[in-house]
Amino acid sequence: MRRYIVKRLLLAPITLIGVTLIVFCLTRIVPGGPVDRILQEQVIASLSGEKTSGINTSQVSDAEREKLEDLFNLNEPIFKAYLQWLGILRSRTNINRAEFSSEERATITLSAPDGSPRTLDIRREGLTPRFHAPAWFSEEGWKLIIEPPKEPSKQHPRTSTRPLPPHHEASDLARRAGSKPWRALVFREEWNGLLQGNLGCSYKYNEPVLSMILSRLPVSLYFGILAAIITYLISIPLGVFKAMHHGSWTDSVTSILVFIGYAVPGFALGAVLLIYLGARLEYFPLYGLTSVNYESMSLNEKISDLAAHTVLPLTCYIIGALAMTTMMVKNNLMENLATDYMRTAAAKGLSFRRSTWLHALRNAIIPVASGLGGVICSVVGGSILIERVFDIRGFGMLSFQALMDKDYTLIMGTLLLSSVIIILGNLLSDILVAWLDPRIKFR
């Protein structure tokens, strides 16, 4: 078993790399993205009330688009950008561009590490610009790339970092590019990725992804842990009771209630509870996890307020899992009650109730234990629809907002955490199953 656990832990980083690489490529390939979204918002704001059937992002200059692409690191090739996200390659920061003026000179104002402005002059001699770096330029880690004139294109240009062409190729390129000037690109390179503990900054909210996840995670953990504990505390004894009294009227009544709970979606039940118990009868609050004046309450008032906001969402969380787990425990237990070892235990004088709880139940909950990975994932991830109905700012809602906003860094951060949780949950499921059933051997 120890060898199996070590093998699974060694394979976990490979699995995470495969999952994150696929999603990273998909986010870069699909149309649209944070740049287009920001440009659309700028165009809408500039229209100031004019009604238009569509948004034309071509009204925004190429320079503005290029600045946004530099900010979001969208100018790099996909695989290189992924390695920069991992922190294996250094990323460009403090990117500055300047075009050569008619005097064959480019001036860039840089910000020194101490915050003071620095002016950098680049002079062009002939077709190839020449640059003599001052002492502070290399000491502060700045780098320079001279970009040749680009050929006209209908698409929005992206930054070119290719080396300068030979003399005759540069002359031909300048002739075909018309009056487009040469440009100077100045930047710094830093190790700033996942291996350095940085998940990036959200495009939409302009906040560190890690801090956003940590702020939302306790809410999902609160509901998830409570839902898991209550589900198992109710479903396992109820499943045993139904199996031991199979065919009785109590079994039939509880089965009807269980099937109703399984058939009703949690978010639909939440809408009904909000209307009748929240809006009409005013027994429970309508939204959120706490009241607006929560911080000014006393300790007892805070506990009461939190409990009042918890009842309805928690009911929606446990209703489906409770029904499924109860029927799973009952069906598996009934199969074990008909086995030979149960008849042997009865022949040796062990009571039916005692043999059920000591022997049959341990084998009956093995399938339940094998689903621990999914339970752990739901504990952390929460339910997007339930959080949306009750306006709860949890981890599930954060993942949904990241997808709707096409916030690439936030998508990658939430995906990484979800993948780690699923891998660890499945590993814990295997360990628990092997502990419950010694016959199971993992290699």
pLDDT of 130 reads: 63
Across the beta sheet with 128-130, the strand order is 105-111, 117-125, 128-130
Count the neighbouring beta carbons within 10 Å of the beta carbon of residue 383: 26
Q: How far apart are CA 175 and CA 194, in angstroms?
A: 44
Residue 402 per-residue DSSP state: H
Q: Where are the beta strands (DSSP E) in 54-104?
A: 91-99
The pTM assigned to this predicted structure is: 0.76
Count the neighbouring beta carbons within 10 Å of the beta carbon of residue 210: 15
**What are residue 107's DSSP bridge partners?**
121
Q: Retrieve residue 67's tokens.
A: 């600045």
Does position 50 have pLDDT exceeding 60, yes or no?
no
How are beta strands 91-99 and 183-190 bridged, if at all?
antiparallel
pLDDT of 102 reads: 54
Give per-residue pLDDT as tens, 384-423: 888 888 888 888 888 888 888 888 889 999 989 888 888 8
What is the C-alpha end-to-end distance of the chain, expressed in Å?
Answer: 7
Topology, domain 209-436: MetI-like fold (1.10.3720)
pLDDT of 158 reads: 41
Phi, psi of 440 (to 5 degrees): -80, 125
pLDDT of 221 reads: 85
Nearest CA to 399 out of 208, 197, 217, 195 is that of 217
Would you say 302 and 294 are in contact if contact means Cβ atoms under 8 Å apart?
yes
Would you say 370 and 433 are in contact if contact means Cβ atoms under 8 Å apart?
yes
Q: Which of 33-37, 217-221, 327-331 has the lowest mean pLDDT?
A: 33-37
How are beta strands 183-190 and 142-147 bridged, if at all?
antiparallel
pLDDT of 55 reads: 42
pLDDT of 263 reads: 86
Would you say 389 and 345 are in contact if contact means Cβ atoms under 8 Å apart?
no
Provide DSSP, 259-300.
Answer: HHHHHS-HHHHHHHHIIIIIIIS--S-SSSSS-TTGGGS-HH
Would you say 87 and 191 are in contact if contact means Cβ atoms under 8 Å apart?
yes
Residue where the block lists tokens 């700045």:
142
Give per-residue pLDDT as tens, 98-155: 776 655 677 777 776 666 777 777 776 655 556 666 777 776 778 877 777 665 544 4
Phi, psi of 333 (to 5 degrees): -70, -40
Would you say 352 and 240 are in contact if contact means Cβ atoms under 8 Å apart?
no
pLDDT of 346 reads: 81
Exposed, middle or buried: residue 331 (CB in 10 Å: 0-12, 13-18, 19+)? middle
Structural domain spans, the chain: 61-198, 209-436
Contacts with 96 (C-beta within 8 Å, 6 or more apart), sequence order: 108, 109, 110, 185, 186, 187
High-pLDDT (> 70) share of the chain, %: 78
Does position 433 have pLDDT exceeding 70, yes or no?
yes
pLDDT of 54 reads: 43
Q: How far apart are CA 193 and CA 85, in angstroms?
A: 5
- Length of the chain, in residues: 443
**What are residue 105's DSSP bridge partners?**
123
Three-state helix/strand/coil letters over 334-393: HHHHCCHHHHHHHHCCCCHHHHHHHHHHHHHCHHHHHCHHHHHHHHHHCCHHHHHHCCCC
Q: How far apart are CA 248 and CA 54, in angstroms?
A: 65
Would you say 414 and 335 are in contact if contact means Cβ atoms under 8 Å apart?
no
Q: How far apart are CA 128 and CA 120, in angstroms?
A: 18
Nearest CA to 320 out of 379, 382, 258 is that of 258
Q: Retrieve residue 350's tokens.
A: 């062990």
Would you say 105 and 122 are in contact if contact means Cβ atoms under 8 Å apart?
yes
